[in-house]
Structure 1
Amino acid sequence: MIVSLQRKFILISAISIFVVFSGIFLVLVFFSNRQLDRTMDTLADAISFNDGVFPEFDPAQPSQPFPYDNVITEETRFSTRFFTVWVDDAGHITHINIDSVSSISEEQVEDFAQTALSEGTRRGWVSDYRYRVVETDTGSTLVFVNGTMNRSMSGRLLLTAFLVLLGSAFLILALIIIISKRVVHPVAESYEKQKPFITDANHELKTPLALILSNLDIVEADVGKNEWLDDIRSESERMGLLINQMVTLCRMDESDTPLALADVDLSVVVDDTVSEFEALAADQKKKLTASVEPGVHCRGDEALLRRLAAILLDNAVKYCDAGGEIRVSLRCRHHPVFTVENTYVEVDRLELDRLFDRFYRADKARTFTGSFGIGLSIAQSIAKKHKGSVTAYKKEGVIGFRAELKER
């Protein structure tokens, strides 16, 4: 249990770190792309506002028709690779200026221009070129600015940020793994103290119960049976059953408790369990039907698996409506699946998420029906021991339990 708790703590911490750092990286990617687009748009605007050629840099003039935004300097015109395309109102290319770029042909320029026009947007990317479309009196002017260097620089910065975040995540996770033992230490200490407490409590409670029942036999031998003595015996036996179930549940929680693993024929286990409850169901006028797929095997503890089946069937018989129906099913797909359903008119009032809580009873008055509200908790613990699960579900007038066993 403690090891499982430590692993859950580490897993939750790892997921939290992944989510936070992934969010940070995505934010960096978003703002990096926005900044790249803004820088390239500033260059494209400068060229488009200057009739398709790069303007002379003159920061002394405050009435420049385009924003500098600290992007354009005296050296920018010599490092910027761009070309300009003019098209008429019919979309035909009338003129091309590729004086500032040498790695592209006129045919490629025409393809880029047609692609940009087909996009129907004022700005965008075509390959490694950021374009700007400006409407004119005679048609449109398309300015394409090469963003290879800017993209490469942005990519390197993002890669650096990714490696820093990844390294930080591993470092934090390593520290969490180291301190996780300290974090769960109070729980481990409390759990270790609980073990002898349960054992001692079991002994201390069973001893007086045994004396009560022994003295009860002596009294009955002297005065004979009567309703008061019967009540004492009934409540004492009930208390003994509760103690046994509590001890069983505590032992199931101990992760180091070994299982007697063997190949178990679940089909035989379920058939035997159904046969045991058929007479009880028939006596209560409840119909019990079973659909068991033959040859379903599982590697597990046969005694515990029989107890799991018995708990679910016992629960179904107890809470099935008078004259109702109980359906049992066992099948195997990727792993064995065992389901038990029973009719229950008040199914809509059930809190499915609480059915496996210890001592939970749907009956708020807690009228004793032979159940303490521990059985389903034991069933769930048995399933977890076999790397499986038990879940509850409901549909119209029916409550069901589905047990999946994955220890094969």
Structure 2
Amino acid sequence: MFTKLRNRFLIFNMLITSIIMIAAFAAIYIITYSSIHSEIQKKLDQQSQMQIITKEEDLPDNTGKGTRSTIQKFSLNDNLSFDIEVDKNGKILNIDSFVDMPDKAYHKAAETVWNNKKDNSTITLEGKEWRYSIAKIKKEVIRNEEKSIVVENNYRIMFLDVTAYNKTLFQLLTTLLSVALIMLFVIFIISFYFANRAIKPIAEAWEKQKQFVADASHELKTPLSIINANYDALLANQEETIKNQLKWFDYIKIGTDRMTKLINDLLAFAKMESINLEIRKTPFNIGNTIDEVILSMEAAVIERGIRIISSIEPDVIIKSDPEKVSQLVTILLDNAVKYSNRNGHIYISLIKSKRRVVFSIKNSGKGIAKQDLPKVFDRFYRSDLSRTYENGSYGLGLSIAKTIIDRLGGHIHVTSEENGFTTFTFTLKLHS
């Protein structure tokens, strides 16, 4: 399922990236193509507008003598170029060229263009590509210092070498395609990496959710089994009085109490993980909150013969949710009491450290194995399974504590030594 989700994400990302990249490269190529062809056309148009300047005395007379004209020769910058003058039948009248080519090449060029009669097109000649333009010849005649334009029936075909231009466009196209392929490969690798990273927390959350449901179902089976077993015992002894069967009712009560606690913990945990959970942060004295929690658990502490030694710095004000902080301290103290050895010790401290407040609670006992330390905040984790039902623990308390501290913007961690002390420490920001 997650592989398909990752692949869809990858395909979508590659598709969008490819479209944007192709559009950008296409725009670059089209702009360059248009610019080059505009430059070529400008040069051809510029030459086609050149006129043959003729003086009045040079015009043909009745004697049939030829004319003497002054023709403006041209060279289009560094580009090779030539022009051919033809009559209305395509017969060559004059060749004006800066290119060293055999006469047959000029005749072939004129014949090809005249048969095609397609203006502003390209032909291949002598291993080069030539762009040509066809225009009627215009003469500028000067009579008595007055100028007039005379349009003849002859045509001029202008040729411009565009081999370098086309080579530039081809190199640009090749470069863009090469860069596109390389970029697509790089983008695929990067997208694949980030797609895996994006899917990983979702997959982990899904696995945790499945494990949570499995663990909750497993934990609910035990109290339900107790209730069912004692109910069957009651049915098997219907003749007995209620007084004689009180022990079965007591066992049922124990089962219902355990199930009630588990359900309440599950609801609390679900509430803590809700994105809509409201955190009301107000300034308050965290030392007073800790003292209240210690007093509320005095009976449990006395029953186990545990000695609490506290060192709480006075007048420590933080801006947070008093109710959630109280719940957090209660969970940690309850955990310390449950897992302390009888007649053991619990050390509680509260100090300021720079711009944060540091709370720690340390209890003597069996401790937690080094390999189990990363798991203590996992749901349904218990380091001592043999004491699960003795102390009524389901392994949700520390998970709830971790969720609370995360929502409050703090940090919590644990250190422990086997058959030594276990210390939980959390930090929160001071009220500024």
Question: If the TM-score is normalised by the length of the shorter chain, which range does it land in?
Answer: 0.3 to 0.5
Taking structure 1 as the reference length, the TM-score comes to: 0.47
Taking structure 2 as the reference length, the TM-score comes to: 0.45
Larger radius of gyration: 2
